[in-house]
Chains A and B, each alone.
Chain A
Amino acid sequence: DTEVTQTPKHLVMGMTNKKSLKCEQHMGHRAMYWYKQKAKKPPELMFVYSYEKLSINESVPSRFSPECPNSSLLNLHLHALQPEDSALYLCASSHEPTANEQYFGPGTRLTVT
């Protein structure tokens, strides 16, 4: 089973709202990732969690706040977003942080109004 699940599939939020994106994997992977993908662009890495600890933060604005409650779950808390933050947010996982293959979830389509 190489499934990574993400909820919700779609999210529309205003610039003053607070919302969260959720990601879950049951493959026993110890590394989890958040990516942002704009239309017709490749995914851009935002955060890497390794053994439930934040190991890479790609200088992402503080209005994005990641959280890893346990080894299977990864959240992305959103607050005071801007319209330019509208994108497809992808979660991925890999067996180890140094492992090669990353498996992606279906993504959450976020629209900020």
Chain B
Amino acid sequence: EDQVTQSPEALRLQEGESSSLNCSYTVSGLRGLFWYRQDPGKGPEFLFTLYSAGEEKEKERLKATLTKKESFLHITAPKPEDSATYLCAVQANDYKLSFGAGTTVTVRA
């Protein structure tokens, strides 16, 4: 069974304090790993897709990386507007998305 584990569960940062979120996964036949951002009461917003180990994607202050067992979402010099829950999901050969429980990031000014 596909498993996705995210850590930490919650992360409180000072504005400008860089940090990383972890997503470890166990899946048979990874087709893709996805990062989403979700604000309270809203739908997940697509951020990145990573397909193979060694791949990296960047968007503004966010950078996602992938190894054979885990992915990291690096937040560089975060701002209060980066506060959100970040969800990791994997897609295996059955094409369904399996989500992790998420990391809730709070950035204080």
Contact = CB atoms under 8 A, between A and B. Distances in A.
Co-assembled chains A and B:
yes
Interface of A: 2, 4, 6, 41-43, 45, 48, 56, 88, 90, 92, 97-98, 100-107, 109
Given A42-B87, A100-B31, A105 B95 contact: no
Nearest to A4: B43
Contact of A107 (B43, B87, B89, B95): B43
Contacts of B72: none
A2 B45 CA distance: 10
A43 B99 contact: yes
A42, A92, A101, A102 interface centre (most CB from chain B within 10 Å): A42
B99 A42 contact: yes
Interface residues of B, number: 22
Q: Which 3 A-B pairs have the closest CB atoms?
A: A42-B99, A104-B43, A100-B32
Given A101-B46, A104-B44, A107-B43, 13 more contacts: A42-B99, A42-B100, A42-B102, A43-B99, A92-B43, A100-B32, A100-B34, A100-B49, A100-B91, A101-B34, A105-B43, A106-B43, A107-B41
Nearest to B43: A104
Contacts of B31: 100
Contacts of A105: 43
B96 interface: yes
A101 B44 CA distance: 12
Contacts of A90: 43-44
A52 to B, nearest CB: 17
B42 A106 contact: yes
B46 A97 contact: no
